[in-house]
Amino acid sequence: MNQYETFLEDILIDENTLRQRIRELGEEISADYQGKQLMLVCILRGGVLFLTDLMRALTLPHTIDFMAVSSYGTGARESSRQVRITLDLQMSVEGRDVLLVEDIIDSGHTIASVLELLRTRNPSSLKVCTLLDKFERREAEVPIDYSGFKIPNKFVFGYGLDLDEYYRNLPFVGVVKPDKYVPPD
Ligand code: IMP
Ligand code: MG
């Protein structure tokens, strides 16, 4: 596996900036959910680093649970794309104040499908918190309640986001130099 330095165009969001913004989000969410039954739902796998840092920035008692999804339907059907649940929640969302925690919202199809599904299970409330918002690429309309950073339409990696499943561990969000990145076999 290549070292990331060979294809890192630049660091878009460094470690300190991430830490600071996540602390702010934590304060905002803690204030908004005072006295409520907050349940964080993380969509695997990209949201994991954000989830664990966000949890530590919250001053409210809360529970966590996980979902995994995979998209199907590509090409001409892309704009009506639905996602398939590959791992469902362990806990019931009924009567809970559910906050979805995502790494990035790109076209918006993933989060739109998850919202549609969870709404049928009667949570008390259902909101969205994303670290990154690639707003120029939006196809599905998604209400975003908490957003860390709006980012340009560039492919990014690190801090949970992968390049062919690698490099999720990097402490910053970096931009890929496409002509320098070689996918693994
Ligand atoms: P959406 O359904 O198009 O909004 O896609 C969301 C998912 O695509 C995210 O949860 C990521 O897993 C992935 N994704 C979108 N953009 C990027 C990126 O720039 N880097 C890494 N993963 C991305
Ligand atoms: Mg993801």
How many domains is the chain partitioned into structurally? Answer: 1
Ligand 1 pocket test target in 77, 104, 176 with most atoms within 8 Å of CB = 104
Q: What is the pLDDT of residue 74?
A: 52
- Residue 70 belongs to a domain: yes
CA 154 to chain CA centroid, Å, is 16
Among 32, 106, 145, 179, which one carries the catalytic annotation? 106
Integer Cα distance of 101 and 139 in angstroms: 20
For 86-114, write each residue's pLDDT tens digit: 999 999 999 999 999 999 999 999 999 99
Which range marks the domain in which residue 93 is found?
15-153
Q: Report if residue 181 sits inside a domain.
A: no
Residue 77 is predicted with a pLDDT of: 44
Does residue 79 surpass a pLDDT of 70?
Answer: no
Please indicate, yes or no, if residue 170 is contained in any of the structural domains: no
In a domain, 176, yes or no: no
Bridge-based pairing of strands 173-176 and 38-44 is unpaired
Looking at the domain assignment, is residue 2 inside a domain? Answer: no
**At which residue do the structure tokens 């709006």 appear?**
150
Query: In this structure, is residue 41 part of a structural domain?
Result: yes
- Asked if residue 167 belongs to a domain, the reply is no
pLDDT at 123 over 70: yes
Would the CB of 107 count as within 6 Å of ligand 1? yes
Prior bond of 45 cis (ω within 30°) = yes
The ligand minimizing its distance to the Cα of 176 is 1
Name the residue among 2, 3, 9 with its Cα closest to residue 156.
Answer: 9
Q: Is the pLDDT of residue 152 over 70?
A: yes
At 76 the pLDDT is 45
From the CA of 112, give the closest atom in ligand 1.
2
Of 39-48, 50-59, 77-86, 143-152, least confident by mean pLDDT is 77-86
> Per the domain annotation, does 135 fall within a domain?
yes
**CATH (domain of 69):** 3.40.50.2020
The share of the chain scoring above pLDDT 70, in percent, equals 95
135-148: per-residue pLDDT in tens?
999 999 999 999 99
DSSP class per residue in 126-183: EEEEEEEE-GGG--S----SEEEEE--S--EEBTTB-BTTB-TT-SSEEEE-TTT---
Whose alpha carbon is nearest atom 9 of ligand 1?
A: 104
Percent residues over pLDDT 90 in the chain: 88
